[in-house]
Chain A
Amino acid sequence: MTLGRLIVAVLAVVGAVLLQVTLLSRLGLPGATPDLVLVVVLAFGAVRGPTTGAGVGFAAGLLVDLIPPSLGYFGLTALLLAIAGYLMGVVAERTGGVVAISLITVALISVGLVFGRAAIGTLLGDPRVSWGEVPGLALTEAVYTVILAALVIPTLAAIDRFLEPRLSL
């Protein structure tokens, strides 16, 4: 990864995490909070491949776990987002970035993330997890993530092409 690409990654992740806690979670939208951090991680997986996806997911997850008011288990979001970024990268590589398949993958991963978080929370004995809410959260989360991903993935692809026309596909 070149310096320009690294800077883009850092800016995108920090910006997404800050927007997440200060704006998106305060909008009071129905159901889950739109997960911009997840979208950014998936975008890096889709555009730059599974290795970058996993790395960006891990770093973004650690930041999410650290930024107040997060009280969750430190490392849990990092774990989930690393897997999410990796899976997105693998699917994008195998299918060559077909839009429909990418968006379906985005939806499946976001549903899996909500269920995964609830499942791990239950396993670790978190009293807050209420399974009654989980299906609704997963559904709304998938909708928000797909909408945001349809905007963010092409944007990141365009930025990468602009930075290094030679390297991109």
Chain B
Amino acid sequence: MRESRRPRIILGVLLLIAFSFIAIDLRADANGPLGGVKKITGSVLGPMENTASSVTSPVRGFVDNLTSGGSKDEQIATLEAEIQRLRDSGASGDSQHRMSELNDLLRMSAVGQYRVVPAQVIGIGSSQGFARTVTLDVGQRDGISADMTVLASGGLAGRVVAVSSTSCVVVLLVDATASVGGRLEGAGEIGFVSGTGNESELEFQLLDPYGPLKAGDRIVTFGSKAGKPYVPGVPIGEVTEVSGTPGQLTRLAKVKPFVNVSTLDIVAVVVEPPRDNPRDSVLVPRPESSPSGSPSGSPSGSPSGNSSAPATIPVPAGSPAPSASTSASVTPSARSTPTPSTKPSTKPSTKPTGDGASPAASAR
């Protein structure tokens, strides 16, 4: 019976230790003893995570390709389109996609006057832990500190919560604890956008019970004091469904975020907020009523989001004059994107949902 008692005693001791860790963590804040331990282990584990991330990236790409298409026919169609695109461009699909993401990040930081540090996602938390968090490969030595805004292609991704010397942890906007002040495009009505834990849905609560609110409205960040944790003007998402009637105590709406967190790869951390509030200027201008064919004109910050921005905003580096309002999507991108004709349609949510129902480009 000696052998059967020993494991139980050991388990009991381990459980006691674990319980006391939890108890300490519950009471302590980031500056407590455990905060220090986490910071040190973060700077050790961060680089390891970084290495592991680059080692495993081919596997991720392979599985992504397998799981992205639904039926076999779709997969074949996707692959054929991919082959065609590769033939056309001579660049790999992955680098194309990343280039378009980078382009959009550059556009947002230029238009919004955000000073940013580019970063790459190297780790993601498990979904059964319920928290929606990611690790980035930048840290204290890159000038990152807690409560900085994180942008991704399309708009707001989240905010930095913990920093070690070489990595940092970002709580995504879709996390159930995340909440950001939001402002409706044009109208200027303000409210709060909060995460639901669901990757494709946010919740918007309008402060003014009589304020105008309808599907298709777009929301940008209102901005926090000194830009911490959220800088102003960052696109958040588009209202898809309004619940409640005008005059009701709280008016809620479902919001589809512009950023697709399941494919998050390259992001930018805002290290310095803009001097002036960029208001609605960072939003991609709505396509005028003509469909214009390509998926590039969608409001969801699609790959070629940099295309039509110069129409209204003084982008540095000599932006070309807008030739025709919507078909301008080709002209500027010819300067920045080597292959303007082949847009990777990898970004989902490229459907302009309610553009007919709302006054286009109301802010102009």
Contact = CB atoms under 8 A, between A and B. Distances in A.
Interface of A: 14, 18-29, 31-33, 35, 49-51, 54-55, 58, 61-63, 66-76, 78-79, 82-83, 86, 89-90, 114, 117-118, 121, 124, 126-130, 133, 137, 141
Contact of A130 (B6, B56, B176): B176
Given A27-B63, A27-B67, A75-B25, A130 B197 contact: yes
B34 interface: yes
A97 B267 CA distance: 48
Given A26-B60, A68-B169, A75 B21 contact: yes
Interface of B: 6-7, 10-11, 14-15, 17-22, 24-26, 34, 37-38, 41-42, 45-46, 48-49, 52-53, 55-56, 59-60, 63-64, 67, 121-131, 133-135, 161-162, 164, 167-171, 175-177, 197, 262-263
B38 A33 contact: no
Given A26-B121, A71-B169, A86-B11, 4 more contacts: A21-B125, A23-B52, A25-B127, A82-B18
Contacts of A89: 7
Contacts of B59: 23
A32 B124 CA distance: 13
A118 B130 CA distance: 9
Nearest to B177: A127
A51 B6 contact: yes
Contacts of B22: 73-76, 79, 124
Contacts of B25: 73-75
B7 A54 contact: yes
B9 to A, nearest CB: 9
A74 B42 CA distance: 13
A23 B169 contact: no
Given A27-B60, A82-B15, A69 B128 contact: no
Contact of A68 (B11, B37, B164): B164
A14 B41 CA distance: 13
Contacts of A74: 21-22, 24-25, 34, 38
A142 to B, nearest CB: 11
Contact of B169 (A22, A51, A69): A69
A20 B126 contact: yes
A128 B131 contact: yes
Contacts of B134: 69
Q: Is the interface of B mostly helix, strand, loop or mixed?
A: helix
Given A68-B167, A82-B15, A90 B7 contact: yes
Contact of B171 (A51, A71, A73): A71
Contacts of A117: 128-129
A117 B170 CA distance: 22
Given A18-B49, A126-B130, A127-B177, A66 B7 contact: no
Contacts of A114: 128
A61 B18 contact: yes
B191 to A, nearest CB: 20
Contacts of A70: 125, 129, 133
Contact of A58 (B14, B38, B126): B14
A29 B130 contact: no
Contacts of B17: 58, 75, 78
Contacts of A24: 126
Contact of A82 (B11, B38, B162, B177): B11
A106 to B, nearest CB: 16
A19 B49 CA distance: 9
A168 to B, nearest CB: 17
Nearest to A78: B18
A29 B67 contact: yes
B123 A69 contact: yes
A124 B21 CA distance: 13
A68 B168 contact: yes
11 contacts: A22-B53, A22-B123, A26-B121, A35-B126, A61-B18, A67-B45, A68-B46, A68-B168, A73-B26, A74-B34, A79-B22
A110 to B, nearest CB: 10
Nearest to A29: B67
Contacts of A90: 7
Contact of B124 (A25, A126, A130): A25
Contacts of B128: 32-33, 35, 114, 117, 137, 141
A137 B129 CA distance: 10
B168 A58 contact: no
